[in-house]
Amino acid sequence: MTIELTILGWTLVLAFVQILLFDIARTSQYGAKWNMGARDGAMPPLSAMAERLKRAQDNLFETLPLFIAAVLIAHVADRNSALTAMGAQLYLAGRVIYVPLYAFGVPVLRSLVWIASTIGLGMIVWAIFAPV
């Protein structure tokens, strides 16, 4: 398995972890009875931490389909290279670092880390279209 596909697998693990982090934060606030119920009633606003975890999760889910597609296209088109490997590593590292920065409300640095992860994604896309 290529480095890029391995990193894609770990990125899916990260997505699952982010789902769990938000669900744990929300359930700890609303309770297990709410979580196991129909969830029909209006609830008080989530805590700031839970809201940030949800936004971090949403943010990952905005770029995850693009990352999956880029890695798979590079793989199928046999365009894997040092550039795609570094891009995938930068994307995943940025996404992992992004979660606690967002969860704890760290400004500026969080945005810089997001930019770095996006550059990693761009590196993979660039490698797909770059002349051989």
* Domains in the chain: boundaries: 3-38+46-129
Cβ-proximal residues to 98 (8 Å cutoff; 6+ apart), any chain: 56, 59, 60, 110, 113, 114, 117
Structural element, H or E, at residue 26: helix 3-30
Confidence of residue 39 (pLDDT cuts 50, 70, 90): confident
pLDDT tens, position by position, 23-32: 999 999 998 8
pLDDT tens, position by position, 90-115: 999 999 999 999 999 999 999 999 99
The domain 3-38+46-129 having CATH identifier 1.20.120.550: the answer here is yes
Cβ-proximal residues to 17 (8 Å cutoff; 6+ apart), any chain: 99
What span, in angstroms and rounded, lies between the C-alpha atoms of 83 and 105?
32
Is residue 72 scored above 90 in pLDDT?
Answer: yes
